[in-house]
Amino acid sequence: MEKVRRYFAMAGAILGGTGAYYLRGPLETLLKKEFTPIVSVSFIVFTAAVFAVIFFFIGAPLSKGIVGSVDWLAKSLGGASLQDIAVSVGGLIVGLIIANLLTPSLARIPIVGAFLPAIAMVVLGYIGIAVAKSKKEDILSLSPGRLMQAVKGGRSALKPERKGDLPFTQATPKLLDTSTIIDGRIIDICRSGFIEGKLIIPSFVLDELRRIADSADNIKRNKGRRGLDTLNMLQRDFPTDVLTWDWPSNPGDDVDSLLLKMAKETGAEVITTDFNLAKIAELQEVGVLNVNRLANALKLMVAPGEELTVEIHREGKQPGQGVGYLDDGTMVVVEQAKKHLGEEITVVVTNVHTSPAGRMVFARPKYLDRAE
């Protein structure tokens, strides 16, 4: 750390001395007095010393800030689409051109004229990037067809492509959200072969899993560790199909919002068990695969009057009711079956209730029908 501070002090001395050397002339003009050589040298040395002391103390935090900024810039560029990068570079070029046109006028300003051109380049370059990104769609809509297609080619690795004249396409990649990874059923779904395309775990989802796994709450910690185990199994069993992807995010960002934004920009689909996230994705026209909906679709279809054999595991909410389960996990509520706890009996289906949370079957013991 001391070595870093010494380097910054040297840089501060050079910067201060150089600035004082170039400011000496404008100061003489402003004060209408010519400095003697001793005064000039003293002014340069004093300014260099002041800057050296300042840079010595701000060297450590400034170096950390620079390293952090470089890391943030690398992550941002790595997660940005080719479309965003092309538009941002165009905005930067326009901003620098405007700053260059203003440089001769800014350089004539007394005292600060030596620094204003550099400041103008930084400010106008940033403004150019910000404006270009905010007007990205408008800029692309004005581009020639081929150029626009080339810029949007950053999605080509993610979006389906036609091969020749045959209607065969590459599978759309899938983004896994935190709830799906913790749920764990995605492993069996992948093994069954019903999921096509790459499975992508965004960096912010992985960060959320780590936070949950490090939680002080035992339940949350166990869920987070189960999610990490799920990821390890996926990457072990499907090493070429499961990828992690760095995506720019800030602490405190909403993971669901980031996931939907990433899906929209890349053309991927979201796999989730979160009912609310699935609904929001549908409203925003983002492709979504709900694992719970898939599980409900695969449950056995039963109709009123059909006979089933179930084991009564526990009491129901209403007096006399018993509750059993089918092989696929469907709950069966049986009237007047409390006395058959732990027994396997034949029942007749009286009603089937389906909701977003799942399917529930209502039945009554078969012997009651015979008695009637």
% of the chain exceeding 90 in pLDDT = 11
User: Do 257 and 270 meet the contact criterion of CB atoms below 8 Å apart?
Assistant: no
| pLDDT on residue 324 | 92
| Residue span of the structural domain in which 32 resides | 2-140
% of the chain exceeding 70 in pLDDT = 82
Q: Are residues 73 and 29 in the same domain?
A: yes
Q: Are residues 61 and 181 in the same domain?
A: no
Most confident range (mean pLDDT) of 74-78, 290-294, 334-338, 351-355 is: 334-338
Q: Are residues 288 and 359 in the same domain?
A: no
The average pLDDT across 344-358 equals: 82
If pLDDT is split at 50, 70 and 90, which confidence band does 142 have?
low
Q: Are residues 182 and 290 in the same domain?
A: yes
The average pLDDT across 176-188 equals: 90
Q: Which of 43-47, 93-97, 149-153, 219-223 has the lowest mean pLDDT?
A: 149-153
| pLDDT on residue 151 | 42
Asked whether residue 45 is assigned to any structural domain, the reply reads yes
The average pLDDT across 307-333 equals: 88
Q: Are residues 350 and 276 in the same domain?
A: no
Q: Are residues 190 and 127 in the same domain?
A: no
Asked whether residue 169 is assigned to any structural domain, the reply reads no
Q: Is the pLDDT of residue 150 over 70?
A: no
Asked whether residue 165 is assigned to any structural domain, the reply reads no
Mean pLDDT over all residues of the chain? 79
The torsion of the CA quartet 248, 251, 253, 259, rounded to 10 degrees, works out to 40
Is 4 or 254 the better-scoring residue by pLDDT?
254
Q: Are residues 287 and 307 in the same domain?
A: no
Place of tokens 């706890």: 341
CATH number at residue 321: 2.40.50.140
Most confident range (mean pLDDT) of 38-52, 113-127, 280-294, 358-372 is: 280-294
Most confident range (mean pLDDT) of 40-49, 148-157, 291-300, 354-363 is: 40-49
The average pLDDT across 259-282 equals: 89
**Cα dist. 59→20, 46, 63, 72, 335 in Å?**
21, 20, 6, 20, 77
Q: Which of 18-27, 201-210, 241-250 has the lowest mean pLDDT?
A: 18-27
Amino acid at 204: F
Asked whether residue 212 is assigned to any structural domain, the reply reads yes
Task: Give the relative orientation of helices 37-79 and 2-31 as an angle to the nearest 10 degrees.
Answer: 130
Asked whether residue 149 is assigned to any structural domain, the reply reads no
Q: Is the pLDDT of residue 153 over 50?
A: no
The average pLDDT across 272-280 equals: 89
Q: Are residues 134 and 28 in the same domain?
A: yes
The average pLDDT across 241-246 equals: 85
Overall pTM > 0.75: no
174 three-state secondary structure: strand
User: Do 270 and 289 meet the contact criterion of CB atoms below 8 Å apart?
Assistant: yes
Amino acid at 354: T
Domain boundary among 296, 327, 354: 296
Asked whether residue 314 is assigned to any structural domain, the reply reads yes
342 three-state secondary structure: coil
| pLDDT on residue 73 | 67
Q: What is the side-by-side order of every strand in the sheet holding 174-176?
A: 242-245, 199-202, 174-176, 269-272, 288-290
Q: Are residues 8 and 51 in the same domain?
A: yes
Q: Are residues 254 and 306 in the same domain?
A: no
The average pLDDT across 26-43 equals: 76
Q: How far apart are CA 124 and CA 326, in angstroms?
A: 67
The average pLDDT across 321-331 equals: 85
| pLDDT on residue 285 | 86
Asked whether residue 116 is assigned to any structural domain, the reply reads yes
User: Do 113 and 30 meet the contact criterion of CB atoms below 8 Å apart?
Assistant: no
If pLDDT is split at 50, 70 and 90, which confidence band does 166 have?
very low
If pLDDT is split at 50, 70 and 90, which confidence band does 173 have?
confident
Q: Are residues 304 and 246 in the same domain?
A: no
Asked whether residue 182 is assigned to any structural domain, the reply reads yes
Q: Is the pLDDT of residue 293 over 60?
A: yes
Q: Are residues 15 and 134 in the same domain?
A: yes
| pLDDT on residue 47 | 84
Domain boundary among 96, 118, 140: 140
Q: How many folded domains does the chain comprise?
A: 3
Domain boundary among 296, 316, 350: 296
Is 72 or 104 the better-scoring residue by pLDDT?
104
